[in-house]
Amino acid sequence: MPDGDAVRTDHDEVIAEVRGLVKRFGSVQALRGVDVRVVRRTVHALVGENGAGKSTLGRVFSGAVQPDAGTLLIDGAPVRFRQPRDAQRAGVVAVSQELTLVPQLDVIDNVFLGVEERRAGLIATARARDRFEELTTQLGFDLSPHQRVRNLNVADRQKVEIIRALARTARLVVLDEPTSALVANEVTQLLDIVRRLVANGTTVLFVSHALQDVLDVSDTVTVMRDGEVVSSGPASEQTPDTLATAMLGRTHDLSFPTRRPPTQAESVLSVRGLGLRRRFEDVTFDVRPREIVGLAGLVDSGAGLVAGAVAGVIRPTRGQMLIDGVPVRLTSPTDALRHGISLLPESRRDEGLFMRRPIRENVTVGKASIVSRWGMMRRRLEGVLVGSQLRTFDVRMSSLDARVDTLSGGNQQKVLLAKSVFVRPKVLVAMQPTRGVDVGAKSSIYSLLSDLAHDGMGILLVSPEIEEVYGLAHRILVMHGGRVIAEVDPKAIAYDEMMRLVLTADRTGGEGAA
């Protein structure tokens, strides 16, 4: 465009556009004729139910998926991206829903993998280090460049993914569910980052189930349902309710099931003075059958680690654990499973599912004996058992034999949950059970957890979405700085008050210390 062109055309304003986009995966039609225009220097949100086609659309923009029909235009010109590298060259980069880092490498190596500033030999170049410093400062992230990614929790890995995208000097960043592994204060930070990116001239395509965040940060919201766009317009004209209604095609309110009282029976799980060097200390609590006990705390509070210790992922250095009154020393998650403790892990890809294996195998992997002792009948029985389990969870899939990585993120989460309860554990350690699932599925997972508890299971619930801990648990242990600082009854304390405890460890107005 020549300078001084008085009238800005559409062509000028639109950085990326798709027309008539169609994408099939076997019998599944993920996109059925999608038209979307993304205006330069704006945040464009994509919302929709699990499986609606959001990630697929995002992947078309970032070159990871090639459409069967339709056109992609960048800066008004039709393009054909054969791989993410092509998109990168055009300035389009994705931060994907499933983390794609190399666990064996350092943070800084992951950030610059495939970019020119990357390591020369074994030492990160000064230029790479400077750029890393600049990006983390700009983003307000506290990350050491030389940590192995393997040792980071999910939230930190997500930060690495974000830095990685920005290191590629992207003009259009596709953020697919960037907030689902972050806790409240980090989400606020991320939304600030998104705003700053846009202020600096970047455009952001933002895929999220957190409808309020979407409205807080975006200019335009496009709602998808079953592979089609059902509406697209200014965010200022929407509320979380109107979005949910458009997504689901019906009205919907997110509510928690009524709490049913736990039994007065003996504890199924007792934790006594549990500690792990400098990470958490002196943690003591009980979980009874039919009881949901919540652990609430920020990422560095130790809550996640305590849950990991209970599930056999982490070995505590002090204290004791008893199952049905019998002391146990768990050596691994498999060992925990033998003792009746099942884990719903934080990360689907790293700890939870075999992405390239069929759905049915993933669900039964912990309990092969249930199905294998039937010999010839095995596959059919497996099909029946797994099928009914997944139907309760409303998993949308083409068949039980489909690979897990063909499912949408939310549906993978449901398979993970199905797997963790298929073994009928005495205790379920549920970490962020609704990660990446849509509003409708959230409610059904809440009812499911409540029903599982009602059937006799003890549940230890840890989630960065403190609301869900507050809404579901019978009792909540608030953790701060590696210690349990209070035990609260969610029916007797206001949410804001509990949040203040979680954030500041300030006990005034709280329920009293544990």
Ligand X SMILES: Nc1ncnc2c1ncn2[C@@H]1O[C@H](COP(=O)(O)OP(=O)(O)OP(=O)(O)O)[C@@H](O)[C@H]1O
Write out the residues near ligand X by the rule CB under 6 A. Answer: 25, 28, 30, 48, 50-56, 97, 396, 406-411, 436, 438
Q: Does 55 bind Mg ion (CB under 5 A)?
A: yes
Nearer to ligand X, 26 or 261 (CB): 26
Residue 179 binding Mg ion, by CB under 5 A? no
Among 409, 433, 471, 510, binds Mg ion (CB under 5 A): 409
Minimum separation from the CB atom of position 223 to Mg ion (A): 14
**CA pair distance 425, 338, nearest whole angstrom:** 9
- Residues in Cβ contact with 306 at an 8 Å cutoff, skipping those fewer than 6 apart: 271, 274, 280, 283, 295, 462, 479
Give the residue with the Cβ less far from ligand X, 34 or 457: 34
Choose among 178, 216, 228: nearest CA to 57: 228
Alpha helices in 200-282 (DSSP H): 211-217, 240-248
Which partner, ligand X, Mg ion, none, binds residue 52 by CB below 5 to 8 Å per kind?
A: ligand X
Residues 89-118 that bind Mg ion (CB under 5 A): 97
Which residue bears the tokens 């309710």?
Answer: 241
Q: Which is nearer to ligand X, 345 or 490 (CB)?
A: 345
Per-residue mark of binding to Mg ion, 2-41 (x: CB under 5 A): ----------------------------------------
β-strand pairing of 326-328 with 318-323: antiparallel
Which token pair is 342? 């099942």
Nearer to ligand X, 53 or 316 (CB): 53
- Torsion (CA) 240, 219, 84, 163 in degrees, nearest 10: -90
From the list ligand X, Mg ion, none, partner contacted by residue 53 (C-beta under 5 to 8 A by kind): ligand X
Distance separating alpha carbons of residues 363 and 505, to the nearest angstrom = 39
Choose from ligand X, Mg ion, none: what does 25 bind? Cβ within 5-8 Å by kind. Answer: ligand X
Token pair in block for residue 113: 């993998």
Q: Please give the helix or strand (H or E) that residue 459 lies within, else none.
A: strand 458-462
Of 362, 301, 344, 336, give the one whose Cα is nearest residue 155: 301
Q: How far is the CB of 436 from Mg ion (least distance, A)?
A: 7
- The C-alpha atoms of residue 505 and residue 395 are separated, in whole angstroms, by 39
Q: How far is the CB of 29 from ligand X (least distance, A)?
A: 8
Beta bridge partners of 229: 224
Contact 415, 362 (CB under 8 A): yes
Rounded least distance, CB 421 to ligand X, Å? 20
| Smallest separation, CB 447 to Mg ion (Å) | 23
What is the nearest approach in angstroms of ligand X to the Cβ of residue 99? 14
Query: Which of ligand X, Mg ion, none does residue 51 bind (CB under 5 to 8 Å by kind)?
Result: ligand X
Q: Which is nearer to ligand X, 17 or 438 (CB)?
A: 438
Q: Under the criterion CB under 5 A, does residue 88 sit at the interface with Mg ion?
A: no
Q: Which helix (H) or strand (E) holds 481?
A: none
Binding site for Mg ion (CB under 5 A): 55, 97, 409
